[in-house]
Structure 1
Amino acid sequence: MRVTFLGTGGAVPTTERAPSAFLVEREGERLLFDCGEGTQRQMMRFGTGFSVSHVFVTHLHGDHVLGIPGLIQTLDFNDREEPIAIHGPPGSKGHLKDLVEAGGYRPGFPVTVHEVRPDGVALDGDDYEVRTFPTEHRSSSSMGYALVEDDRRGRFDREKAEELGVPVGPKFGRLHDGEAVELDDGTVVRPEQVVGEPRPGRKFVYTGDTRPVDATVEVTDAPDLLIHDATFAAEWADRARQTGHSTAREAAEIATRAGAKRLALTHVSSRYAGDASPVEREAKEAFAGESAFVPDDGQKVEVPYPDADAE
């Protein structure tokens, strides 16, 4: 799983930071979270490709959705035929359809728009799901997303299987798939004899714009990567409350409570256009996980399996 930070800036873009957009590549699939102005150009610039299958919108403020018309039209100009689905919070369907059809445009490929309640599942994939959770951002209907993979099968102990007399071949696969097998002498070997405990999948959480909320902690335990609103440093805490954002310290405290391994601080105010170190430094002081960082536009972050070191 790889996350490309396409846009890490706040409501006002700067020469260094575009508005919010994050692309997740997972097992050959590309999922886009928010689509601020200029997202298609960022995708070209940072080489992510355009084969996005789903777009997940946290809320309808312009810095999170104004890239949708351009992206849809560019996909159409590139003769796209595959469908794309756009997911948004309650009350967003009509507005998102208007963006897709901006200026009376009608895309030549299927575009579907779904409203999702902020405590459900936006996408139920083959071996993962994208969950939603409520956030708090001014008067806007807003929500965050958590990509949570299913547990993987445990490791197959080939040496143990051979000790038990299982011949090399198809019976190995049947055991690993959870099926008991019978040997030539009538002995039955059960999967639990040769297959270890299930191994955890990966977890990615994105809040969008929000005040610190318990739902970020509750949506899943110990995310491998949490992308959290950190628009301001603590000196602007009053402004953060007024505008429905979080400070870097508040983001770090939520990330610590959630048990997040890594914390990416985004939606950085244009006040820090030239130097975001105050935001990063503040979060590092309060975060108990492995690392807290302010990503640059274009930065790519790998999200390994939780047990990757052991493997």
Structure 2
Amino acid sequence: MSSMRLTFLGTSAAAPTAYRNLSGLFLKREGQSFLFDCGEGTQRQMIRYGTGFALDAVFFTHFHADHYLGIIGFVRTLGMLGRTDPLVLYGPRPAATFLPKVLRLGAEDASLPVEVIEVNHGTVIRGDGYRIEAFATDHRVPSVGYALIEDERPGRFDLSAARTLGIPDGPLFGRLQRGEAITLPDGRDITPDLVIGPPRPGRRVVVSGDTRPCEATTLISQGADLVIHEATFGDFEQGRAVDTRHSTAREAARVAKEAGARRLVLTHLSTRYDREPGTLLEQAKEVFDACEVADDGLVIDLPQHD
């Protein structure tokens, strides 16, 4: 069964605390690993929570300092560890001009190749059985969110039905599983729908980044297995949320509810809620019950749909 594991490396907004680091989310799917945002101290969190440093790409949601400063030290650590494979960095404008300048900070250049790709919206990566899409969000600077969307998988092969139909074991099974119709030796035509169940949907994980609630997030979160949405503020700070282009916990819950998502995780908490996030959770649950507040080190394993 294909594995997918998410590890929350940092869940604090703007400033780190003794209990929460700045933004960072590690996602591992089968043999590939991705990092979403890289706040100061992210590499230490990766050591602390055992994710390892074997990354395929880093995705930045925007370029406020609490979301990118950690990449400076992290790239140099990779170099000291002897990595020679390129590291690909994705982000909204001005990634193409900004990130190279950031990575040149210090006495010497990074010793591994780094490729920077500026994104707007649409498919960023298309891999084996999945894609990662960027979507526009609503923050004070150019910003995007990201969604990992798996392809639909074929339905299950019904061995009992195949044998009842008298299909002999062997290559004919494979042809049916590939969607081909077959003709049996007795002349009967067998179509795949007689032995293959309905297609199984892939998993969908959405990472909002910093944003006001917006239509693009709701649209891409339709039926999502997991929506990870910022919840910087509580109800009484609604005006501040609007002014700073952030979301309240209740607003994040409305996004998940309108999208018909299966599960919501709140992150990017103001330091006001550092040790006591219960208020945010209570307000969100009044709208959408299947939600929780992330702590640093939270691990979520998402099984496939069967």
For normalisation by structure 1, the TM-score amounts to 0.93
Match of residue 43 from structure 1: 46
Match of residue 139 from structure 2: 137
Match of residue 80 from structure 1: 83
**What are the superposed Cα offsets for residues 191-214 of structure 1, whole Å, 9 maximum, x if unpaired?**
222111110000000110111111
Match of residue 113 from structure 1: 116
Match of residue 270 from structure 2: 269
Question: Which moved further from structure 2: 58-67 or 73-82?
Answer: 73-82
> C-alpha distance in 2, partners of 1:40/1:171?
51
Distance 1:188 1:108, change over 3 A: farther
For the residue of structure 2 that corresponds to 1:171, the secondary structure is helix
Contact 1:59–1:88 at 8 Å: present in 2 too?
yes
> C-alpha distance in 1, partners of 2:51/2:69?
19
Shift of 1:150: 0.5
Shift of 1:174: 2.2
Question: Which moved further from structure 2: 186-195 or 232-241?
Answer: 186-195
Between the two proteins, the alignment pairs up a number of residues equal to: 303
Say if 2:81 is the partner of 1:69.
Answer: no
Contact 1:131–1:219 at 8 Å: present in 2 too?
no
AA aligned opposite 1:212: P
Unaligned segments of structure 2, at least 5 residues: none
For the residue of structure 2 that corresponds to 1:93, the secondary structure is helix
For the residue of structure 2 that corresponds to 1:102, the secondary structure is coil
Match of residue 299 from structure 2: 300
> C-alpha distance in 2, partners of 1:263/1:193?
38
**What are the superposed Cα offsets for residues 61-94 of structure 1, whole Å, 9 maximum, x if unpaired?**
0110011111111111111122221110122211
Contact 1:226–1:260 at 8 Å: present in 2 too?
yes
Shift of 1:166: 1.8
Distance 1:161 1:97, change over 3 A: same
Contact 1:203–1:223 at 8 Å: present in 2 too?
yes
Contact 2:264–2:292 at 8 Å: present in 1 too?
yes
Shift of 1:219: 1.7
Say if 2:129 is the partner of 1:127.
Answer: yes
Shift of 1:242: 1.2
Contact 2:58–2:88 at 8 Å: present in 1 too?
yes
- Between the aligned residues of both structures, percent identity stands at 49
Question: Which moved further from structure 2: 146-155 or 159-168?
Answer: 159-168
Match of residue 208 from structure 1: 209
> C-alpha distance in 1, partners of 2:201/2:104?
41
Say if 2:169 is the partner of 1:160.
Answer: no
- Equivalence map 1:1-311=2 (5 Å): 1-103=4-106, 105-117=108-120, 119-138=121-140, 140-288=141-289, 291-305=290-304, 307=305, 311=306
> C-alpha distance in 2, partners of 1:46/1:4?
8
Q: CA RMSD in A?
A: 1.4
- Please list every run of at least 4 consecutive aligned residues from structure 1 whose deviation after the TM superposition is greater than 6 angstroms: none
AA aligned opposite 2:37: D
Distance 1:188 1:271, change over 3 A: same
> C-alpha distance in 2, partners of 1:186/1:131?
47
